[in-house]
Amino acid sequence: MKNKQSIFFSLIFILFLSVAAAAQDFWMTKSFIRWDKNEIEKMLGDSPWAQSQKVRVQIEGRTNAAAGSVVGNVSIAPTITTTVSNTTTAPSIDYTFTLRLRSAVPIRQALIRKNQLGKQKLDKKELEQFEKRQNGILECPACQDNYILTLSAKSNENKNYDPIFEFFGKARFEDLKRYIILQNDHGEKRELVHFTPPKIAGDEAIFFFPRYDEKGNPLFKAESKELIFNVTNN
């Protein structure tokens, strides 16, 4: 990204995990192997473990400006705030930013079910073999000791540009760990311990935070209501 120092990038997502116990929600009444396409989309984009918000992104000329900056001062309560300082007036495009708590079991179940629906043409034996390969997603050894979050962005107006890939594709872990944190509603925090950048446009950026502190206490407890993902490099 050109002129990187001129960009102030800020995202604040809040996952309202306390609503997970609502008895009327489909994930409380149906096994994930019976979720349909609409239920999968809701789980992956608008659930206690995932939040999506539209943000207007200003894509600037790549010859003399920082490409793909979010510009202005935009506040979309209550889940996301984005701010990037720049003075150009390039056309802006709506992007949907999605944050998922990948380490949450319901998110992993939704990903497995999504894969299953994409393989409906397989016969029963092939489908059984395919489902066995999904065990790695469901078991997720890294999830035992880490909160894993993924961040992505897409637009129906411009499918040739991905602000997540633009910003995080070449980001260094040493730089990101200085300002990316995970926090609960009691102010307790976890620092970034691992980061997997998107390899191509359309990939997710993946962030890892330790689940437990030095005393063995998890960040999210029974009395916690929110997990706050804060990306603020000011």
Residues 6+ apart with CB under 8 A from 216: none
Degrees to nearest 5, angle at CA 199 with 111 and 135? 30
pLDDT at 40 over 70: yes
Query: Is residue 210 within 8 Å of residue 148, measured between CB atoms?
Result: no
pTM of the model: 0.78
For the stretch 154-176, pLDDT in tens is 888 888 888 899 889 999 999 89
Query: Is residue 9 within 8 Å of residue 164, measured between CB atoms?
Result: no
Return the minimum-mean-pLDDT range out of 74-78, 81-85, 105-109, 115-119.
Answer: 74-78
- How much is the average pLDDT of 165-188? 90
In angstroms, the CA 118 to CA 104 distance is 22
pLDDT at 81 over 50: no
Q: How confident is the model at residue 76 (pLDDT cuts 50, 70, 90)?
A: very low
pLDDT at 118 over 80: no
Q: How confident is the model at residue 61 (pLDDT cuts 50, 70, 90)?
A: very low
Query: Is residue 228 within 8 Å of residue 183, measured between CB atoms?
Result: yes
Closest by CA position to 98, among listed 140, 42, 60: 42
Residues in the chain: 234
In angstroms, the CA 159 to CA 192 distance is 30
Q: How confident is the model at residue 58 (pLDDT cuts 50, 70, 90)?
A: low
Q: How confident is the model at residue 205 (pLDDT cuts 50, 70, 90)?
A: very high
Closest by CA position to 27, among listed 16, 17, 14, 40: 40
pLDDT at 92 over 60: yes
In angstroms, the CA 229 to CA 57 distance is 20
Query: Is residue 44 within 8 Å of residue 107, measured between CB atoms?
Result: yes
